Amino acid sequence: MKLNLKIVAASAAVAMMSSGAAFAAATITTTPASNTYSKEGLALSGASAVNLPVIRVTFGNNLTYQDDILITLPGVSPVAPANLAGLVACYSSTGAPLSGTAVGYVQLIPGGWNFRVTDITGVTIGSYCDFGTAVAPGNYLQVTASSLAAAAGSKLTYQANRGLTTPTVIVDGPVSTATGIEVLSQFAIKADTKLNGIINVYTDRKDFFDAETVAPGAGVKQDTLKFSTFTLGSPPVGTWTAPTVTPTAAVATITGDFSWVDGTDTDTTCDADEFPTAVVITPVAPALTVPWAIDTTKSNCQQLVLTQTGAIVDSAFTGYFAVSGTKTLNATDYVGNIEWTYGLTASPATTGKTGLAWDPGAWTINGAQVYIQYMPYGTGLSRIVYAANDGVLNPDVTADITANGSTFSCALGTAPAKTVTNLSGAIDTCVAAKGIVTGKVAILLTFIAPDQDIEVYSAYNAGGTDRGTVVNTSNGRSFFYGTGVTFP
């Protein structure tokens, strides 16, 4: 009876070795250990075949003749090997070469390749095979470039199944690489110092409330902007696996209100010669870095366009917005976009583009602003604009009226503390002075008072009987009405 127990225990141990415990040590690795592919390079290469690194499988169990070895990278479209010579090289646990026919290629499978043990003696625990070799003839496993780009995040996986067995019996693995293959973008942008000017209502919104503290605009009432661009990954990747791309141009666009660039003239146009004075770019080391320049042909009152051309590498923009002190500034949440143009490093005639959004920052204001999106004028129409001031100040009120392609400003008097003030008459007088009797206008009200003190009600009356409420930005607002910026 005791003898039988010992035999059963030994049998159980053998079963464990063949069913999982013994092959837990199986591994799949790559040489190099880390391989980073360019998303842009893969996309430009399309259906072309791309080499995978050498893939080494170290067996965690004894495999027998006809056992199937499966290597997969989920999501890719594998390419059938055109040349089997040198595709697989197998070694004993001590590194001694095994028979050249120890493992052979069978067929493609979804996301990978099916190999098979072809040596009648099998392969043993601890022995290993390299799939794809760096020696002549340098034959590698391949996938289509576009499928590898789409399979970003997938891991190489190995498992072995008992040959000619139904249902499938896994006898080794499955195991996956920890990293091995990554697909990353070569391009990135980072805002180092964002625009953060606070427009000063006490100077009629002509400059900022306080001086800049960050160079190069430090010490004056300017607003510093710095951003960095990356063309070899962020953080930079030391070695990329082909195919890669080489950038030839970059365009960074900042969209927002640039009417302040108009300077001291009265043409209401942001002229090309005014931008270099308003947007000051300072040199950045190293000297070989391709500098950023203002595209004066595309920059206008709604956007600033910066360009780089030539042998672009990782670079930095550093400069500042230099307001003139003569133009009204508007609270603006600036929006950034950047686009790189590039060509395949190995085939520069094959070109492409990629773009990213980024945040250049925002200009806020140390007062209250309420935007009334429209107010109608015409026969039988009257307007109702009331301002409720819950604070203790008696702020001046101004209105910026936008109509018929232009904007003009008028002083509306004050909004006394703890009072509801009717601004309708003053607004009508302002509009009438410009000869506007019909149509719709937009009204931006500015109060020299804390934002939380002011609420505005706006409506219009048609024929004395029909009142239409006009929703404005003080209805359910967050500070800065649409910019999403909270004033500290």
Residues 13, 5: contact at Cβ < 8 Å? Answer: no
Instruction: State which H helix or E strand residue 15 sits in.
Output: helix 2-19
Q: Tell which residue, 164, 158, 156, has the closest CA to residue 64.
A: 164
> Alpha carbon of 444 to those of 77, 161, 441: distances in Å?
57, 73, 10
- Order of all β-strands in the sheet with 406-414: 368-377, 439-447, 396-403, 406-414
CB neighbour class for 290 (10 Å; exposed up to 12, middle 13-18, buried from 19): middle
Percent of the chain whose predicted confidence (pLDDT) is above 90: 72
The three-class DSSP label of residue 169 is: coil
CB contact set of 339 (below 8 Å; sequence gap of 6+): 250, 251, 253, 353, 354, 355
Q: Tell which residue, 478, 483, 205, has the closest CA to residue 366.
A: 205
**Per-residue model confidence as pLDDT tens digits over 312-325:** 888 899 999 999 89
Predicted confidence band of residue 265 (pLDDT cuts 50, 70, 90): low
For residue 20, pLDDT beyond 60: no
Predicted confidence band of residue 253 (pLDDT cuts 50, 70, 90): very high
CB atoms inside a 10 Å sphere around CB 112? 19
Distance CA 476, CA 488 (A): 19
**Per-residue model confidence as pLDDT tens digits over 172-191:** 999 998 777 999 999 999 99
pTM: 0.81
**Per-residue model confidence as pLDDT tens digits over 322-372:** 998 988 899 999 999 999 999 999 999 999 999 999 999 999 999 999 999
